[in-house]
């Protein structure tokens, strides 16, 4: 089912995934209008899309997702919302009120705007971190949407994304102002990599400081399945199409789906090496420190940060939950998304790696220059 002639809203349009989805929509769908909703949208983004814009109108909607009236204006006349905008924080560096305001309240206000403005479809970008791993580090290998797992989430990011997902799926079937019904679904991508991934840049910068040797923070056996950003964007497009299709809408509405691809199952550290080794980077053979030492240091840092918090907020560089996340086998299948949404990876691992490494190669001289100036 095509989105031809539709008015589409993409929140977080200026971000890593948002930009990729907007380009995909322009390349594959003859939409009437795409509204780029974000706190700030760089003029360069709109300029960069001119080569594939065609007859689609690109509208910039700058504002705070916690502003209900702004959201109503942005959704007026639209038929589908892709809600990607969120605060991503795996170190608990952001105050809880801030991350909750954006990831939960913002999602709720956007859902209400959809009901008030008769937006028929809503695709929510969730995260694999709503599953865990739990503090006990219990592994999952090729998990499915049906499996039970006691997550006991620790990160504020994980908790708020789960709450945003829950509210999204509960809103499925709500009656719109015009008498129609809202259809919703949520996508849970794995760790997303590709051109523009700030986490990869951070790991490369650390390796440059370490004489071009990547730090090993994950055991080799702690295998996960990262997913390429182009495939995640494709999953969103397929979800949008499915919610418009009357038959698929009934199957997919109110459900969540894991989005992965055929990237090899490796540890986070070994994945970093896989995309950076062609650039001359090596990787440490063993963990920087034994796991028990990492946990002990994290415990001490957390206690010290808690002690001084009444005076100043200090964010430790590493937490016990982050160590657990980096060292727990945690992988999931995309087969249900294939069945219900028609999703299939567009990019092979070889192509995704080539594109990612090529982007990192272009960024490498800039990172080295930054290091030189420090």
* Residue 217 CA from chain centroid, whole number: 21
Q: Residue 323 falls within a domain, yes or no?
A: no
The model's pLDDT over 2-11, given as tens digits with 9 standing for 90+, comes to 888 899 999 9
Q: Residue 319 falls within a domain, yes or no?
A: no
Q: Residue 11 falls within a domain, yes or no?
A: yes
With cut-offs at 50, 70 and 90, classify the pLDDT of residue 313: confident
Which residues are identified as catalytic?
Answer: 161
Sign of CA dihedral 243, 249, 252, 254: positive
CATH code of the domain covering residue 63 = 3.40.50.720
- For 60: left if phi > 0, alpha if psi spans -120 to 50, otherwise beta; the answer is beta
Residues pairing with 36 in the sheet: 10, 60
Q: Residue 216 falls within a domain, yes or no?
A: no
Q: Residue 336 falls within a domain, yes or no?
A: yes
Q: Residue 243 falls within a domain, yes or no?
A: yes
The model's pLDDT over 105-150, given as tens digits with 9 standing for 90+, comes to 999 999 999 999 999 999 999 999 999 898 889 999 999 999 988 8
- Tally of structural domains, the chain: 1
Domain containing 232: what range?
7-197+226-264+332-352
Q: Residue 177 falls within a domain, yes or no?
A: yes
- For 8: left if phi > 0, alpha if psi spans -120 to 50, otherwise beta; the answer is beta
Q: Which of 225, 228, 227, 255 is nearest to 341 (CA)?
A: 255
pLDDT at res. 106:
97
Name the 3-class secondary structure at 330.
Answer: strand
Q: Residue 300 falls within a domain, yes or no?
A: no
With cut-offs at 50, 70 and 90, classify the pLDDT of residue 246: confident
Note whether 361 and 279 are within 8 A (CB).
yes
Share of the chain above pLDDT 70, in %: 99
Average pLDDT along the chain? 93
pLDDT at res. 308:
85
With cut-offs at 50, 70 and 90, classify the pLDDT of residue 260: very high
Residue 248 is given by DSSP the state H
pLDDT at res. 315:
80
Task: Say whether pLDDT at 192 is over 90.
Answer: yes
- Non-local CB neighbours of 372 within 8 Å, separated by 6+ positions: none
Note whether 26 and 8 are within 8 A (CB).
no
Q: What mean pLDDT comes out for the span 174-182? A: 94
With cut-offs at 50, 70 and 90, classify the pLDDT of residue 85: very high
């Amino acid at each position: 089912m095509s989105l031809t002639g539709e008015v589409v809203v993409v929140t977080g349009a200026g971000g890593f995934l948002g930009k990729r989805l907007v380009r995909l929509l322009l390349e594959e769908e003859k939409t009437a209008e795409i509204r780029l909703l974000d706190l700030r949208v760089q003029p360069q983004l709109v300029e960069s899309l001119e080569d594939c814009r065609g007859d689609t109108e690109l509208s910039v909607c700058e504002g705070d997702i916690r502003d209900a009236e702004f959201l109503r204006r942005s959704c007026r006349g639209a038929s589908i919302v892709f809600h990607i905008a969120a605060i991503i924080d795996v170190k608990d560096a952001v105050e809880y009120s801030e991350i909750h305001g954006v990831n939960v309240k913002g999602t709720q206000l956007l859902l209400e705007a959809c009901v008030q403005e008769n937006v028929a479809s809503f695709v929510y970008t969730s995260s694999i971190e709503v599953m865990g791993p739990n503090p006990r580090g219990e592994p999952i290998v090729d998990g499915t949407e049906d499996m039970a797992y006691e997550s006991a989430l620790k990160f504020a990011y994980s908790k708020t994304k789960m709450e945003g997902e829950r509210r999204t799926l509960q809103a499925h079937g709500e009656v719109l102002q015009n008498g129609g019904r809202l259809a919703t679904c949520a996508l849970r991508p794995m760790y997303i990599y590709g051109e523009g991934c700030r986490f990869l840049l951070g790991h490369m910068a650390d390796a440059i400081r370490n004489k071009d040797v990547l730090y090993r923070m994950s055991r080799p056996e702690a295998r996960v399945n990262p997913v390429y950003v182009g495939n995640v964007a494709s999953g969103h497009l397929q979800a949008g199409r499915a919610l418009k299709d009357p038959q698929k809408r009934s199957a997919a509405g109110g459900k969540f789906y894991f989005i992965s691809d055929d990237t090899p199952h490796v540890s986070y550290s070994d994945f970093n090496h896989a995309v950076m080794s062609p650039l001359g980077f090596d990787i440490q053979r063993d963990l920087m420190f034994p796991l028990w030492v990492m946990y002990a240091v994290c415990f001490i840092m957390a206690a010290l940060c808690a002690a001084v918090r009444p005076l100043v907020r200090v964010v430790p560089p590493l937490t016990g939950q982050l160590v657990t996340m980096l060292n727990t086998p945690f992988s999931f299948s995309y087969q249900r998304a294939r069945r219900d949404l028609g999703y299939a990876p567009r990019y092979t691992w070889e192509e995704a790696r080539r594109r990612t490494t090529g982007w990192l190669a272009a960024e490498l001289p800039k990172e080295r220059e930054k290091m030189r100036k420090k």
